[in-house]
A and B are shown apart, each in its own frame.
Chain A
């Protein structure tokens, strides 16, 4: 019987990369989303070099200045440069979004795997997840922040708790289907330990929906962080975040609308990039939805 040689590891990686590039070429929206996100990440990374002023420097003599050559996006009510604050604000949003995605995915995946695999765990844990999902997300996040206190780490904890049930539910759904497949039954039959089956046989099947979900959780986290900060229960006011900049602009919406416009536009651009990328990824994972959603 002829045997097919297993492809070398490097080859698999190259083909995965080539597949990703092919997908990007096929989906203009996904390319645009990735381009926007790369630009936002670049701005966040190079903030000290891109910012024209110190984002915390107060210059009361220069307050509420309209956009001009000295201050490209104008100044706020205490004379701080809006452009520099928006540039530094990208760091906060991306950091919060990335850490929320990471923690909610790690914990949500673990819960989803255990719930899908063990019926007894499912009966208890998924009911708690359902209970958490019964709360309107913004209200739950506000209440969590009230209990935890306004700090960046607490924003990440509160938003992670909000999104963990969503990841757990998606992963559990995949596990329930995959655990009935013949190759998983075969692994059980040869006595493979449960953790090995979950990690090496079931988890790889969950990766696609997790990745798709991640881009949307990232986008929602950026919006939620801005909303919490705008309400004064999120990032502490002295840290320049997009939500905080807009809180300051609220009272000057008529006299200095640029204080509100530009951080808001930054949020829209960032979230738009994430949504475009997420839509493209979803089409790639489930081609039935291509051009439909």
Chain B
């Protein structure tokens, strides 16, 4: 087991190296001179040259790349032009909102997706199954920001059950914080629950036809125990894969949802940085969240071994 985990962790190194390189390429992908683009059309040639020197853009690309990788390896994502502080500091200041929103959204997506998937599989080919799958299909076809705006209209503006756009930090109390994040998390969770529900249903349907399920029923095991302990446990592997993939879409979705609910998270920092052409911040956020996503996928890979010990021999 330790060997498997070590191997998977070592495989992270080249992936992170490639991710960092792509992040580096992004600023060099900008058409024209990145320094001129950052300073805008009114900048003089002198200030552009000065910024080029500050950014090190006058050095050979290979030298810039090696220097960038060295800084990233030390946890230095660069300096924000506009905020005049390290990018990592700017990200961590706003990380609480984004991570809490993503985690809350993930919890809703998993609970909703798993329950919908199991019920649909157990009631296969009935009206319940059909209705749940229509809801799931609507979920994968719906823009999250549209759902968010409608939830604001109903639950915040009309019925006044939740705040429309007010984030309460965790330090001010867990319940107030969760309440302020409920509408955004439900929006994020509902849209992400749909693919999980479809995957749980399909995995359950395949497992429910296996011989050992028939054996468990023949032994007189209670139906609920058959579903939860015999069938769902074995349907968990594809489900865990889907949940791992969902984290990526949740992080991306959180960027959009923060804008809808005016939450002071990393997503809003990205968008304001685009307006200010603060490329180091955009680059830093891209790298930071790609690294989180890669680590989440590592955790999913390790979870496989616990769920299905055959995996480590493959």
Q: Which residues of A contact B (CB under 8 A)?
A: 127-128, 130-132, 134-149, 219, 223, 226-227, 230-233, 243, 246, 249-250, 253-254, 257, 260-261, 264, 267-268, 271-272, 275-276, 289, 291-293
Contact A137 B153 (CB under 8 A): no
Report yes or no: B22 in contact with A135, Cβ–Cβ below 8 A.
Answer: yes
Given contacts A253-B157, A275-B140, A292-B205, contact A137 B248 (CB under 8 A): yes
A232-B273 Cα distance, complex, nearest whole Å:
13
For A132, A135, A139, A147, the residue with the greatest tally of chain B CB atoms inside 10 Å of its CB is: A139
Contacting pair A135 B290 (CB below 8 A): yes
Any chain A CB within 8 A of the CB of B18?
yes
Contact B137 A131 (CB under 8 A): no
The secondary structure that dominates the A interface is helix
Whether a CB of chain A sits under 8 angstroms from the CB of B293 is yes
Check A272–B202 contact: CB distance below 8 A.
no
Contacts of B251 in A (CB 8 A): 136, 138-139
Q: Which of B89-97, B106-114, B178-186, B278-286 contacts A (4 or more CB under 8 A)?
A: B278-286
Is B271 in contact with chain A by the CB < 8 A criterion?
Answer: yes
Q: Considering only CB atoms, which chain B residue lies closest to A150 in the complex?
A: B274
- Report the minimal beta-carbon distance from B192 to chain A, rounded to whole angstroms: 12
Complex Cα distance A275/B195, Å?
12
User: Does chain A have a CB within 8 A of B31?
Assistant: yes
Chain A residue numbers with a CB within 8 Å of B289 are 135-136, 139
Report the Cα distance A275→B247, complex, angstroms: 21
Q: Contacts A139-B252, A139-B286, A249-B149; is A267 near B143 (CB within 8 Å)?
A: yes
What's the Cα separation between A293 and B199 when bound, in Å? 7
- Select A275's contact among B14, B141, B290, beta carbons within 8 Å: B141
Shortest beta-carbon distance from A89 to chain B in Å: 13
CB of B21 closer than 8 Å to a CB of A:
yes
Most B-side CB within 10 Å, residue of A134, A253, A257, A289? A134
Given A230-B256, A257-B153, A264-B146, A140:B286 Cβ within 8 A: yes
Contact A268 to B138, CB < 8 A, known contacts A127-B18, A132-B22: yes
Given A142-B270, A226-B143, A292-B202, A131 contacting B22 (CB threshold 8 A): yes
Using Cβ atoms and an 8 Å threshold, which residues of chain A touch B293? 134-136
Known: A127-B14, A130-B18, A272-B137. A147 touches B30 (CB 8 A): yes
The interface residues of chain A lying within 8 Å CB-to-CB of B249 are 136-138
B27 at the interface (CB under 8 A from A): yes
Q: CA of A128 to CA of B252 in the docked complex: distance in angstroms?
A: 20
| CB nearest neighbor in A for B18 | A131
With a cutoff of 8 Å between Cβ atoms, the chain B residues found around residue A289 in the complex are: 202
- For A253, the chain B residues whose CB sits under 8 A away are 149, 152-153, 157
B131 at the interface (CB under 8 A from A): no
Closest Cβ of chain A: how far from B207's Cβ, in Å? 11
Residues of B within 8 A of A219 (CB): 141
Q: What is the minimal beta-carbon distance from A155 to any residue of chain B, in angstroms?
A: 14
Q: A246-B149, A264-B146, A289-B202 are in contact. Are A134 and B15 (CB under 8 A)?
A: yes
Given A138-B253, A143-B283, A253-B157: A260 in contact with B150 (beta carbons within 8 A): yes
Determine whether the beta carbon of A137 is less than 8 Å from that of B141: no
| Shortest Cβ distance from residue B124 to the other chain A in the assembled complex, whole angstroms | 9
Q: Cβ of B142 < 8 Å from any Cβ of A?
A: yes
User: What would 21 A/B residue contacts be, using CB atoms closer than 8 Å?
Assistant: A131-B21, A136-B248, A138-B255, A140-B252, A142-B255, A144-B26, A147-B26, A223-B141, A227-B143, A227-B145, A230-B145, A230-B256, A261-B150, A267-B143, A267-B146, A268-B138, A268-B141, A268-B146, A272-B138, A272-B141, A275-B141
B67 part of interface (Cβ distance < 8 Å)? no
Top 3 closest A-B pairs, CB basis?
A138-B252, A131-B18, A264-B146
A132: which B residues are within 8 A, CB to CB?
Answer: 22
Q: Which of A147, A227, A246 has the most CB of B within 10 A?
A: A147
- Interface contact B143-A139, CB-CB below 8 Å: no
Distance to closest chain B CB from A17 (angstroms): 28
A219 to B282, CA, bound (A): 27
B141 partner residues in chain A, CB cutoff 8 A: 219, 223, 267-268, 271-272, 275
Q: In the docked arrangement, what's the CA distance between A289 and B198, Å?
A: 12
* Contact partners of B256 in chain A: CB under 8 A: 138, 227, 230-231
Indicate whether A143 sits within 8 Å of B143 (C-beta atoms), given known contacts A131-B19, A292-B205: no
Report if A246-B146 is in contact (Cβ < 8 Å); known contacts: A254-B157, A292-B205.
yes
What would 4 more interface pairs be, CB under 8 Å, given A136-B248, A268-B141?
A138-B253, A147-B26, A253-B149, A261-B150
A272 (CB) vs chain B CBs: closest residue: B141
Residue of B nearest to A154 (CB): B31
Nearest residue, chain B, Cβ from A223: B143
Q: B305 interface residue, CB < 8 Å from A?
A: no
With A137-B249, A227-B143 in contact, do A275 and B137 touch (Cβ < 8 Å)? yes
Q: By the criterion CB–CB under 8 Å, are B27 and A147 in contact?
A: yes
A260 to B27 Cα, complex, angstroms: 35
* Residue B206 lies at the interface, judged by CB distance under 8 Å to chain A: yes
Pick the contact of A136 from B29, B137, B252, B271 — CB < 8 Å? B252
Say yes or no for B116: interface residue by CB 8 A criterion.
no
- Among B15, B22, B249, the one with the most A-chain Cβ atoms within 10 Å of its Cβ is B22
Assembly CA distance A128 to B138 (angstroms): 34
Q: Is B294 an interface residue (CB 8 A)?
A: yes
> In the bound complex, what is the Cα–Cα distance between A291 and B38 (angstroms)?
53
Q: Which residues of chain A are within 8 angstroms of B255 by Cβ–Cβ distance?
A: 138-139, 142, 231
- The residue in chain A whose Cβ has the minimal distance to the Cβ of B29 is A147
Q: Most A CB atoms within 10 A — which of B15, B30, B138, B141?
A: B141
